[in-house]
Structure 1
Amino acid sequence: MAKQSQVKARRKLINPVFHLQTKQEDDGQLTTGMIKVVRKTGQLNLSGRGLASVPKGMFKMYETGGSESVKHFDMSKGTDDPWWTFQPLTYMDISSNVLVDIPPEIKMFEDLTVLNLQDNCLSKLPSEIGALTKLTRLNLSHNKIESLPMDFYRLTELQQLNLSHNSLSVVDVGFVDLVMLQTLDLAHNQLTQLPSGIGYLVRLTDLNLAHNQLTELPTDISNIRALLKLDVTHNNLRRLPNLGELRKLQVLYAQHNDIEELPGFEGCENLQELYFGNNFIKDVEADFCESMSLLKILDLRDNKIEFLPDQIAMLQHIIRMDLTNNELASLPNSLGLLSHLQNLQIEGNKFKQIRQDLIKGGTLRLLKHLRDKMIADEKKLNVNGTNAINQEVRVFPDKYMMKNSRALNLTQKELTQVPENVFEDAAAAEVHIVDISKNKLTDVPNGLSCLSAEISELNMSINRIKELPEFVGSFSRLQYLDLGKNNFSDLPATLGQLRYLRELVLSYNFFTAIPSCVYELENLEILLVSDNQIAKIDAVGLKRLKRLATLDFSNNNIDSVPFELGNVKQLRCLELKGNSFKLPRYAILEQGTESVLSYLRDRIPT
């Protein structure tokens, strides 16, 4: 019964008919209790209160009585909250109301760092907003703003700016002065062009230009070297400029445009997701495949593609590929070499040699069909034309396969050894990815040394290897090394010579400490050492890894976490669960990496 009465009480608060509040009702939304909270915390939240105008009391919150301001406060009168305890207003949220304008008095809140005005009815901003020079986050989305005052560009400390879902048709060149911006959202406007000089926003990591009327992007967009994500979906773009300088770019959305050819991506070594669906692309060039070594998702659905090159097999990390509704008549057999491909969509094409039951039978069945067809074709090309294809060919790929994929893939072959001539052929094919994981190897094949000049990725996980040979230190271009799930307990000192190594996986081995050579890997970004027997954390050694962002120590024998680990401030992901230490407590670990590091730093003896 009590629960039913509570529900009825809540229902009484709901007014099914929209009522535009009077100015007096708006003023009544800012209560004395709220003002006290603002004075103590420096935060004001008037979100979702149906405000048609800004309460006038908002601009008097820091007065102590009558017309006296804080600065002229008379201490002899006495008050519950004396002026010297007031916190300056740094956070203001008046979103989800029906405000049509912001009073010029907004300029008095010059200490604001966060201002949320989203979901109102604003068509313009007062020029006085330019006085809020400490703003770092500003949300103006879901309004009716048609233009920005010139004083707006005085907000040079802005780091996050959201102007999506407005009516902007022009962005002034003054935008280039907002050089501290890290995220910029201009989606769902009416922009036809971007200002030249946008490349000066060199700190941008996320740029959203979706749902506009852009016909081209300025060429200097490639100067935004920190960009991780770019969204230009639903525009009128016919081409994209060369994006090769965006070396940190990870995700590009470009669906629903008029793009006729893929742009240059050579140099985009971190690109992982590409979305070009619903365009007019006709060709996938071999050069494109050669520059996409880390790509995991490729969406080319609803285009005009007629042909895929054999070099498509060079996309060795691809997990999902969508080729739906194109004009393909066949698929290259080399697609069957993509061992990580889990989802291949090819419906809606004009295939002549691929049966419908194969298309509908799933990705694994289709890839097996292509691999079998490749072997059959090689058999026909046999010079003698009499012998059945050698069993060894089925296990070890030939130069042709490796040349197309630039990879030596021997995963899950039940191998106990690999002949040296296989690596010699791989070197001749200029292979730079080697995967010998999930076998029964007890030693690292000596022939691997043939690839020291080219190899960039090496996966030896899930074997029975105990020792890493010293020649691994000669792999000068190696960026990724996976030694997980083996029998390692130590690593050679020469490993420290791998200056370009970015990711090292040592999980599920028998390490009792991180080998000292690891602390010499100056470009290491990811270090995974979970599920070992590590007892101590060397915070001094880890601090030498200036680029280390991900560190996994979970499921080891660590009995205490050194407070000095908190000084490794560049960490973005730290895993410590599954160890026996008492501090920090589990509740602190659950709050995330920043909280853990802050907790540790606060306890460093001074």
Structure 2
Amino acid sequence: MEKHSKVKSRRKFINPIFHVQTKDEDDNHITKDIIKSVRKTGQLNLSCRHLSSVPEKMFTMYELTDENAVNIDFSRTSKEDDEVWWNIKPLTHLDLSSNVLTNIPVQIGMFQDLTILSLQDNNLTSLPPELGNLTKLTKLFINRNKINNLPKEFFKLTELKNFSISNNCLECVSKSIADLVMLEKLDMSNNLIPKLPSGIGFLVRLTEINVSNNKLTELPPDIVNLRSLLKLDISHNSIRHLPDMGELRKLQLLYAQHNDIEEIPGFQGCEQVEEVYFGNNFIKEIPLEFCENMVHLKILELRDNQIETVPNEITNLAHLTKLDLSNNNITELPYAMGLMPHLQSFKIEGNKLKQIRPDIIQTGTNRILRHLREKISEEDMQTINMISLEVSYDNKIFPDRYQMRNGNILNLALKNLTHVPEECFSEAKEAKVTVVDLCKNRFIEVPSGLIIIADYLTELNLSVNQLKELPEFIKDLTKLKFCDFSKNLLMSLPESFASMVSLRELILSNNKQDKNNPIVPFFLFILCLELKGNPFRQPRYAILDQGTESVLSYLRDKIPL
């Protein structure tokens, strides 16, 4: 079964309804003003001129004839605006991109001072051997053409630092590529390459390689010798096995999605990796070693694989901000994942999870993580050996400022707290925090500092504390949409709750309420209401057990006419 889609290279064809320029018309683009500019700057830009051939005048620009040159004063008394022979600059930058060129003349070899040559977006099928004369070239762009091989003379360009031949018809890569020892960036994506030569490991200055969308089935073993490599893109191939990446100590980005990879390779020693993409493969597990070694990992994409379990050790990826495990075979998640401090995007849809309801998954990352945190027991806490993140100094508590700024979340869950200083809420206001999680602490009253962020606060979690009552100021948190006061000691709600018409989800389960408050109409705004675990006389437990709709129906019937 083919796992990945084939991406076709973008090709440019001459539309027959348009006029194809003659050689004379092509030559007319080399005007005297352009010649003067070239002589002054050493740069010639002929991109997007509809050229069907390289203008012949381009090769005579530096000849001193009446036809193609401006008047040049050989004395040193020329006017300021006139050219003087000692100031003429050789051609160093040539841009022939985005035309309809089918070949490059052999005369190109005369411009031996060229350092940058752009030939992309044409209809070239080959390159002249004379290209090898341009030994000062540092940048060469021939992407989006129809080239199927490179002349052997090309590998004389030993000063080349940036080479792009993407979106062509290249079918093989010569071992001579090892001669391009100055290469720093190499883009051979969207070709027909079945194999990379082993000599690629000699290109020790390479920082970026892109060989995506080819026909690769493996990587050469010496690719791990590229000690300067920062970015490796091997996506959209047919690779089944990857060598251990441990020697790529500077690697930061790995794109390996849409292959046939069956297991995650070793990364021991790759402490700089920040982003890894393994989506659309055949990976069955997340190795423990991977979780232990990737200490700086921020993005991990494992969607559309065959993963069945997620190890508890995934919480070692403390800097993870995005995690995609969607469309796998996962049935359970470690509850400790709810404690991952920087996780802002967590995708888990398309699995067969037993412990999280689909409606919670659809609500998004914050709700999923909150649900996992709420399930953590004392035994779980001992198992994961969670160290309290509370830091005290002059009676101040310092939350995770990164999370506040980037996720708009104030997370002080599981800190054994009895109070939160107002300075903490002042910082939360500056970060425009919308979510506050204070669950599983020892609060006996709601922190008054919440008023400071009333203009932003939409979600509040104070579950698993020791609250006996809610303050009247709760009504001033007018933008609250979600409140969780479950597993406290609440016996009633303040009447001011009736003014909180923005509230849509209220969890009051497992408290000490034995009767409903005289604010029944308030509950009519609620979309989710959980009251189970309270010693109500009315409504009966059978009604509570049927959920929100059943409870609201009962309450509506109690509204006096």
**If the TM-score is normalised by the length of the shorter chain, which range does it land in?**
0.5 to 0.7
Q: List alignment gaps of at least 5 residues for structure 2.
A: 1-14, 402-420, 424-429, 431-561
The Cα of 1:351 is off from its aligned counterpart by 1.4
Q: Which amino acid aligns with 1:401?
A: I
- Letter of the structure 2 residue corresponding to residue 126 of structure 1: P
Determine which of 275, 278, 290 is the counterpart of 1:288.
Answer: 290
Q: Is contact 1:206–1:228 with CA below 8 Å preserved after alignment? A: yes
In the alignment, is residue 151 of structure 1 matched against residue 130 of structure 2? no
Secondary structure of residue in 2 paired with 1:245: coil
Is residue 2:387 matched to residue 1:401? Answer: no
Aligned equivalent of 1:233, options 235, 243, 267:
235
1:181 and 2:222 equivalent?
no
* Change beyond 3 A, Cα 1:413–1:166: farther
Partner Cα distance (1:294, 1:311) in 2: 15
Instruction: Provide the residue aligned with 1:410 in structure 2.
Output: 389
Give the aligned partner of residue 55 of structure 2.
55
Larger CA Rg, structure 1 vs 2? 2
Instruction: Tell me the residue number matched to 1:44.
Output: 44
Residue 104 of structure 2: aligned partner: 102
Runs of 4 or more, structure 1, over 3 Å off, are 66-70, 72-76, 411-418, 435-438
Q: Of the candidates 258, 262, 265, which is equivalent to residue 263 of structure 1?
A: 265
Contact 1:219 1:242 in 2 (8 A): no
Partner of 1:345: 347
SS in structure 1 opposite 2:190?
coil
Question: Given that residues 282 and 305 in structure 2 are in contact (C-alpha distance below 8 angstroms), is that contact kept between their aligned partners in structure 1?
Answer: yes
Contact 1:409 1:436 in 2 (8 A): no
Cα distance in 1 for residues equivalent to 2:396 and 2:31 = 78
Matched to 1:339, the amino acid is P
In the alignment, structure 1 segments of 5+ residues that lack a partner are 1-14, 379-396, 419-434, 439-461, 465-484, 486-606
Look up the match of 1:506: none
Q: CA deviation at 1:372?
A: 2.3
Mapped contact 2:163–2:186 kept (Cα < 8 A): yes
Indicate conservation of the 8 Å contact 1:334/1:370, yes or no.
yes
SS of residue in 2 equivalent to 1:106: helix
Question: Contact (CA 8 Å) 2:26, 2:55: kept in 1 or not?
Answer: yes
Q: CA deviation at 1:332?
A: 1.2
Residue 318 of structure 1 deviates from its aligned partner by 0.5
**Cα distance in 1 between the residues matched to 2:241 and 2:330:** 22
What is the alpha-carbon distance in structure 1 between the residues aligned to residue 284 and residue 347 of structure 2? 18
In 1, the alpha carbon distance for the partners of 2:138 and 2:248 equals: 25
Give the one of 371, 374, 394 matched to 2:373.
371
TM-score by length of 2: 0.65
Alpha-carbon distance in 2 for matches of 1:329, 1:376: 23
CA displacement at 1:95 relative to structure 2 = 0.5
Report the CA distance shift for 1:179/1:463 in structure 2 as closer, same or farther (over 3 A).
Answer: farther
RMSD: 3.1
1:171-197 CA distances to partner (integer Å, 9 max, x unpaired)?
101101111111110000000000111
- Asked whether the 8 Å contact 2:212–2:235 carries over to 1, the reply is yes
- Whole-Å Cα distance in 2 between the matches of residues 152 and 463 of structure 1? 67
Instruction: Give matches, 1:4-23, under 5 Å.
Output: 17-23=17-23
Q: Residues of 2 paired with 1:287 and 1:333: CA distance?
A: 20
Contact 1:412 1:437 (C-alpha < 8 Å) held by counterparts: no
Distance 2:378 2:367 in 1: 16
- Call closer, same or farther: CA 1:411–1:212 in 2, change over 3 Å: farther
For residues 213-232 of structure 1, the aligned pairs below 5 Å read 213-232=215-234
Give runs of aligned pairs for residues 187-336 of structure 1, distance below 5 A.
187-336=189-338
Report how far residue 16 of structure 1 moved. 11
2:510 corresponds to: none
* Count of matched residue positions in the alignment of Structure 1 and Structure 2: 389
Taking the TM superposition and a 5 Å limit, the aligned residue runs for 1:81-92 are: 81-92=83-94
Q: 5 Å matches for 1:428-577?
A: 437=400
Deviation at 1:280, TM superposition (A): 0.6
Tell me by how many angstroms 1:62 deviates: 0.5
Identity across matched positions, percent: 53
Once residues 360 and 274 of structure 1 are traced to their aligned partners in structure 2, the CA distance between those partners, rounded to angstroms, is: 25
State the TM-score, normalized to the length of structure 1. 0.60
1:67 positional shift: 10
C-alpha distance 408-156 of structure 1, shift in aligned 2 (>3 A): farther
